[in-house]
Amino acid sequence: MFWADETAKYHYNVFGDVVSFDATFSTNRYHMVFVPFTGIDNHKRCVTFGAGLLSKEDTDSYIWLLRCFLKAFGKQPTLILSDQDPAMKKAVEEVFPLSHHRLCMWHITAKFPKKVMHNSLNLSWEVANNPVFKRQINDSQFKVRYQKDDKLFFCSCKHFEHVGVLCRHIFCVLKFYGYDRIPERYVLQRWCRDVIPSELLRRRFNTLEAGVNVEKTAMDIYMTVDQCVAGLSHDNVKLEEYLEEITKLKSKFGVGGDANETVNKQSNYEKALGVSIPDTIEIQNPANIRNKGSGSRGKRIKSKKEMIAIESEKPKRQCRLCKEWVHHDTRNCPLRKKENKEQKGDDCN
């Protein structure tokens, strides 16, 4: 199942340049794989574009999910982030050929200590704490190139290309050449305050049992209050006076905390969705599902490398059969397995 509403479509249209999706496990009673699609809005907060529920974590399931995503939003993301799942990689290459696929840094840093030997970690730690290395990092210089005719700025730190916000090096050059405003081409729309369209804000009042005129009035009130708060945000005294006046109006019209409890939530949901709850339910709950991401016991299947790393962290003990300090005992000693295999061969002969 894939789900995305109109609000998510607005968010993706503005903030869909970078999309991250990851499969979670052991998060629902049916052990299905939950795959959320998230991004970053103009306040650097996570925003959800959509979500899917899968019964398997294979390539075909991810291809179907990404095709549903592409059908709902109509365009491919510029950059898509995921973990090192090979099934995800194949699905992204097939459905999103125009997108740049990169691995999530959180997964890389989380697995780095387990994948790298302790000697390499100690060496990296020594290099990072070396005073010469620190001095070279701190003394790094960046070059800003300015094209006066086209009013273009390029910095070797690539901060604008990476984040979408000008770096401090370019700001110094702007100040040097007497700029009092940032050039419009360097003010990306995705970081502006009014990037969210008013149609999206109007959806806050869709659950009201009222007509179009009432919704328009409610929207005008919301926008007026928002403009007043924005205009008075620099003056704390006037802002507190405005809050007192709003509180008086709230008491005057008898708006309390219990008013919303009298609203029939079920009827509002049915009105917003345009459907009603059927008398007979034909779609039944799925059976318990077990795959590499979720199982009957909610445990993820570990790879051989992870198992070796876990075993290496356990204390060694002396095996009474091979007389060596290892991680096994006499029951699973390789010598015993070899003897049993040879004994079975002799019995067959």
* Residue where a domain terminates, one of 58, 84, 109: 109
Q: Are residues 150 and 69 in the same domain?
A: no
- What average pLDDT is seen over the chain? 78
Q: What is the pLDDT of residue 231?
A: 83
pLDDT digits (tens, 9 = 90+) for 220-260: 787 788 788 888 888 888 989 999 998 888 888 876 655 45
Is the residue at 47 inside a domain?
A: yes
Residue 102 has pLDDT above 70, yes or no: yes
Which tops the pLDDT comparison, 151 or 219?
A: 151
pLDDT digits (tens, 9 = 90+) for 296-316: 444 556 667 777 777 777 888
Domain that holds residue 77: 2-109
Is the residue at 213 inside a domain?
A: no
- Neighbouring CB atoms inside 10 A of 51's CB total 17
Residue 273 has pLDDT above 80, yes or no: no
Is the residue at 29 inside a domain?
A: yes
Q: Are residues 22 and 93 in the same domain?
A: yes
**CATH code (residue 8):** 3.30.420
pLDDT digits (tens, 9 = 90+) for 85-101: 888 999 999 999 999 99
Q: What is the pLDDT of residue 97?
A: 93
**Lowest-confidence range among 136-140, 143-147, 254-258?**
136-140
Q: Are residues 41 and 97 in the same domain?
A: yes
For residue 299, what are the contacts with CB-CB under 8 A and spacing of at least 6?
26
Task: Say what percent of the chain tops pLDDT 90.
Answer: 13
User: Which helix (H) or strand (E) is 280 found in, with range?
Assistant: none
Residue 293 has pLDDT above 80, yes or no: no
Is the residue at 324 inside a domain?
A: yes
Is the residue at 240 inside a domain?
A: no
Is the residue at 157 inside a domain?
A: yes
**3-state SS record for 130-168:** CHHHHHHHHCCCCCEEEECCCCEEEECCCHHHHHCCCCH
How many domains are there within the chain?
3
Is the residue at 58 inside a domain?
A: yes
Q: Are residues 37 and 100 in the same domain?
A: yes
Reported pTM: 0.57
Is the residue at 217 inside a domain?
A: no
Q: Are residues 158 and 85 in the same domain?
A: no
Structure token digits, residue 312: 């290496």
